[in-house]
């Protein structure tokens, strides 16, 4: 039974001031229901038309232009950049420049320095003249915001590859980290999966420090000219100038974790000049073996762009030729991660989300149900279930097994191919989807569920919550290292992931299991003081609250529970005057933006999914009716919705995602449950 089946809300009508419902009101209610049914069917028809013949759905995954700029920088470094690819990528980068000359991290956001520097360099590679108006405004903006010396470490690594920055003025990331035992602080498994896969390849780059002659200078991006390079390099900057005695004196007078690691970094700079050669070589080979072992069947590494590009550079430095099968496959994967847009421009995806998209699509169509003439055995659902069954990770024990050697393999990853890193969030959503399909091989689906539920329980953290890829990946030490300026480095439990797992376990009849109850307790303990829940992988408190409330209701938490009432009150308070809901990405760094922002289709749907769990109070019914009306009024002729806003999250405060499927999938879910009553 779906969680929305457990509530009885009068969802078609706007509350009146009296209990009497006259004929006019009944007619108005019937008309509203007929209009929303039309909206839902148009949306489901559009979704069905987008399914691949083999059963999957995949929507574009848009991030920021750093992905596109770094793709061109990689091709320049390898000597494989072509005029065609460069022109198409440059067209996309130009289209995302703001009026002030900068490039943002997300639609409508403020300019971001590192993204702007990388995008500017990419356009210089494409032949844009530094004196062109759009380039002059970009360079002025960069200088006004600190210039190259104020960029993040990763940006300065790219600059160092071309001699625009000195390797000596970057933090050291020694490959000897590969030799640390599993339980040692700062061993590679103390980092989250995405950071681990990136950092291992960067240890090779940091040790070998290549420089390819730059095709032009970047003097215009330094506030005080190129001589300022290294003068304000941020963490780790100027690291080669201090001796061990000075380091120890500094640590003794101000013994903080950050100072300690800055001191260690200075010692590592000294070690880099005279490493223990046998140990350094052993560490480099260990890193090489580790990288190669994690290449996926499609050639990618980690299923995301940063590990892929740095792994390619690392292996090239270790002697792999471009025609080596490993690098050929990796470069082919990068090509597969590019999307040609209708205007001929080329957008590079940071990752691809077919498993996630397909699971959400199945759940959306199942929620639409009979209202949209979608039966549980609809051919589209059966094809999707077949494809999802084939994506279960059954025969490869990924990094999760390092700390859980006795847990049998299972789970689903986010991408087409990423068997090293199945994640709990995708796994829960896939299982929820498979439960809703009337499949001729039901035994196979049930067997997959048993395997995956055992895997999910094995990945539960000791506090009762679930992270995405690992259990108890909560160390704070990684955030102290000088490299730690690029977002989330660990994978602690989050409300949205824990909620999806709890919802699945409850739907699977395991709501009374002690492990599930610990997950419920975790969710109740992590409610914010204002009644909302934080959204780790979606923006933000609207997503967290929209994930948690359906899970709590599925797990038997009554609508009258104080946590449910508080969550509903928060959503009611934050509904926009136009009837929708929205939340600006600035809520991750400024609490004043919590629940505030321009209405979007996906966030309106999340709020509705939450409110549908709390009963038929007049204020809830009215809010739901206004939300449904907003969706109806803003639907496109093709059945989808416009949504330029980024409502997905990679790293809170640092990296955001526009899932192009969210504008369609979540509204179908919300309207389907709303109309089902």
pLDDT tens digit string along 513-568? 999 999 999 999 999 999 999 999 999 999 999 999 999 999 999 999 999 999 99
> What is the pLDDT of the chain when averaged over all its residues?
91
Q: Which residues contact 31 (CB under 8 A, 6 or more apart)?
A: none
Long-range contacts of 160-163 (CB under 8 A, 24+ apart): 160/209, 160/211, 161/73, 161/77, 161/205, 161/210, 161/211, 161/212, 161/313, 162/73, 162/76, 162/77, 162/211, 162/212, 162/213, 162/214, 162/215, 163/211, 163/212, 163/213, 163/214
pLDDT tens digit string along 421-452? 999 999 999 999 999 999 999 999 999 999 99
For the four alpha carbons of 451, 452, 458 and 463, in that order, the dihedral sign comes to negative
pLDDT tens digit string along 653-673? 999 999 999 999 999 999 999
pLDDT tens digit string along 14-44? 333 334 334 544 554 566 779 999 999 999 9
pTM of the entire predicted model: 0.91
Closest CA to 368 of 605, 35, 41, 612: 41
* Same domain as 375, residue 344: no
**DSSP class of residue 37?**
H
How large is the average pLDDT for residues 245-260?
A: 51
* Same domain as 368, residue 498: yes
Query: Which of the four pLDDT bands, split at 50, 70 and 90, describes residue 11?
Result: very low
Of 297, 325, 348, which residue is a domain's last?
348
Q: Is the pLDDT of residue 4 over 60?
A: no
Q: What is the CATH number of the domain that holds 668?
A: 1.50.10.20
* Same domain as 367, residue 340: no
pLDDT tens digit string along 64-114? 999 999 999 999 999 999 999 999 999 999 999 999 999 999 999 999 999
* Same domain as 42, residue 85: no
pLDDT at 269: 84
* Same domain as 191, residue 202: yes
* Same domain as 424, residue 311: no
pLDDT at 41: 97
Of 320, 348, 376, which residue is a domain's last?
348
* Same domain as 103, residue 17: no
pLDDT at 23: 53
* Same domain as 288, residue 144: yes
* Same domain as 408, residue 303: no
Crossing angle (nearest 10°) for helices 442-458 and 424-434: 150
pLDDT at 20: 39
pLDDT tens digit string along 122-156? 999 999 999 999 999 999 999 999 999 999 999 99
Q: Up-side HSE of residue 349: CA atoms within 13 Å toward CB?
A: 23
Q: Is the pLDDT of residue 458 over 50?
A: yes
Cβ–Cβ < 8 Å for 196, 177: no
Q: Is the pLDDT of residue 606 over 70?
A: yes
pLDDT at 376: 97
* Same domain as 292, residue 177: yes
Known catalytic membership, residue 22: no
pLDDT tens digit string along 353-376? 999 999 999 999 999 999 999 999
Of 300, 332, 348, which residue is a domain's last?
348
pLDDT at 29: 58
pLDDT at 226: 58
How large is the average pLDDT for residues 52-75?
A: 97
How large is the average pLDDT for residues 272-286?
A: 94
Q: Is the pLDDT of residue 3 over 70?
A: no
pLDDT at 430: 98
Query: Which of the four pLDDT bands, split at 50, 70 and 90, describes residue 250?
Result: very low
Q: Which of 71, 357, 425, 463 is catalytic?
A: 425
Structure tokens at 400: 């999760």
Separation CA 157–CA 414 (nearest Å): 28
Query: Which of the four pLDDT bands, split at 50, 70 and 90, describes residue 255?
Result: low
Q: Up-side HSE of residue 480: CA atoms within 13 Å toward CB?
A: 17
For the four alpha carbons of 143, 149, 150 and 155, in that order, the dihedral sign comes to positive
pLDDT at 1: 34
Report the percentage of the chain scoring pLDDT > 70: 90
* Same domain as 66, residue 56: no
Query: How many CB atoms sit inside 10 A of residue 615's CB?
Result: 17
Q: Is the pLDDT of residue 243 over 50?
A: no
pLDDT at 227: 52
Number of domains present in the structure of the chain = 2
Cβ–Cβ < 8 Å for 647, 662: yes
pLDDT at 27: 54
For the four alpha carbons of 605, 606, 611 and 614, in that order, the dihedral sign comes to positive
Cβ–Cβ < 8 Å for 105, 64: yes
Query: Which of the four pLDDT bands, split at 50, 70 and 90, describes residue 643?
Result: very high
Residue-number span of the structural domain to which 171 is assigned: 62-348
Integer-rounded Cα Rg, in Å, for the chain is: 26
* Same domain as 610, residue 584: yes
Query: Which of the four pLDDT bands, split at 50, 70 and 90, describes residue 260?
Result: confident
Q: Given 3-state DSSP classes, what are the helix, strand and coil percentages for the chain, each rounded to the nearest 5?
A: 55, 5, 40
pLDDT tens digit string along 157-196? 999 999 999 999 999 999 999 999 988 988 999 999 999 9
**DSSP class of residue 98?**
-
């Amino acid at each position: 039974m779906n969680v929305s089946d457990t509530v009885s809300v009068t969802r078609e009508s706007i509350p009146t001031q009296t209990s009497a419902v006259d004929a006019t009101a009944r007619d108005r209610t019937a008309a509203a229901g007929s209009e929303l049914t039309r909206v839902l069917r148009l949306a489901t028809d559009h979704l069905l038309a987008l399914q691949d013949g083999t059963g999957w759905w995949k929507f574009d995954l848009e991030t920021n232009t750093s992905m596109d700029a770094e793709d061109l920088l990689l091709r320049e470094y390898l000597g494989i950049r072509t005029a065609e690819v460069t022109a198409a990528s440059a067209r996309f980068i130009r289209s995302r420049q703001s009026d002030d000359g900068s490039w943002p991290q997300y639609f409508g956001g403020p300019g971001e320095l590192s993204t702007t520097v990388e995008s500017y360099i990419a356009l210089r590679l494409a032949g844009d003249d530094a004196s062109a108006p759009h380039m002059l405004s970009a360079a002025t903006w960069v200088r006004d915001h600190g210039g190259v010396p104020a960029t993040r470490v990763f940006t300065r690594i790219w600059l160092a590859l071309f001699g625009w920055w000195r390797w000596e003025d970057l933090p050291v990331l020694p490959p000897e980290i590969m030799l640390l035992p599993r339980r040692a602080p700062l061993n590679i498994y103390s980092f989250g999966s995405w950071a681990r896969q990136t950092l291992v390849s960067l240890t090779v780059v940091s040790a070998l420090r290549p420089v390819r002659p730059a095709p032009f200078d970047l003097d215009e991006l330094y506030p005080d000219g190129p001589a300022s390079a290294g003068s304000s390099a941020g963490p780790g900057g100027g690291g080669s100038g201090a001796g061990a005695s000075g380091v120890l004196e500094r640590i003794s007078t101000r013994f903080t974790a950050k100072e300690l690691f800055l001191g260690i970094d200075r010692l590592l700079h000294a070690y880099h000049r005279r490493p223990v050669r046998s140990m350094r070589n052993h560490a480099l080979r260990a890193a090489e073996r580790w990288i190669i072992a994690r290449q996926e069947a499609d050639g990618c590494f980690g299923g995301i762009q940063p590990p892929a590009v740095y792994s390619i550079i690392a292996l090239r430095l270790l002697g792999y030729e471009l025609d080596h099968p490993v690098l050929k496959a990796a470069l082919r994967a990068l090509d597969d991660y590019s999307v040609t847009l209708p205007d001929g421009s080329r957008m590079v995806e940071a990752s691809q989300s077919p498993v996630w998209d397909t699971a959400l699509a199945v759940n959306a169509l199942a929620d639409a149900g009979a209202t949209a003439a979608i039966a549980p055995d609809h051919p589209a659902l059966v094809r999707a279930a077949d494809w999802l069954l084939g994506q279960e990770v059954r025969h490869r024990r990924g990094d999760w097994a390092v700390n859980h050697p006795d847990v049998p393999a299972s789970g689903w990853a986010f991408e087409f191919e990423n068997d090293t890193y199945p994640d709990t969030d995708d796994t829960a959503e896939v299982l929820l989807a498979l439960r809703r399909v009337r499949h001729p091989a039901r035994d196979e689906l049930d067997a997959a569920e048993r395997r995956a539920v055992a895997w999910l329980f094995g990945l539960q953290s000791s506090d009762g919550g679930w992270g995405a890829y690992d259990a108890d990946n909560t160390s704070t030490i990684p955030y102290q290292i000088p490299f730690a300026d690029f977002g989330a480095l660990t994978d602690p439990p989050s409300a949205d992931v824990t909620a999806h797992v709890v919802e699945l376990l409850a739907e699977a009849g395991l709501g009374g299991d002690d492990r599930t109850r610990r997950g419920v307790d975790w969710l109740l303990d992590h409610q914010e003081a204002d009644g909302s829940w934080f959204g780790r992988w979606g923006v933000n408190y609207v997503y967290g609250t929209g994930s948690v409330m359906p899970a709590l209701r599925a797990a038997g938490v009554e609508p009258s529970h104080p946590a449910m009432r508080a969550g509903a009150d928060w959503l009611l308070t934050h509904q926009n005057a136009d009837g929708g809901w929205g939340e600006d990405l600035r809520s991750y760094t400024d609490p004043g933006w919590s629940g505030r922002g321009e209405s979007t289709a996906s966030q309106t749907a999340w709020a509705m999914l939450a409110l549908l769990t709390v009963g038929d109070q007049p204020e809830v019914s009215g809010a739901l009716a206004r939300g449904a009306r907003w969706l109806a009024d803003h639907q496109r002729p093709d059945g989808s919705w416009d949504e330029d806003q980024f409502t997905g999250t990679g790293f809170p405060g640092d990296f955001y995602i526009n899932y192009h499927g969210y504008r369609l999938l979540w509204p179908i879910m919300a309207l389907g449950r709303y109309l089902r009553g």
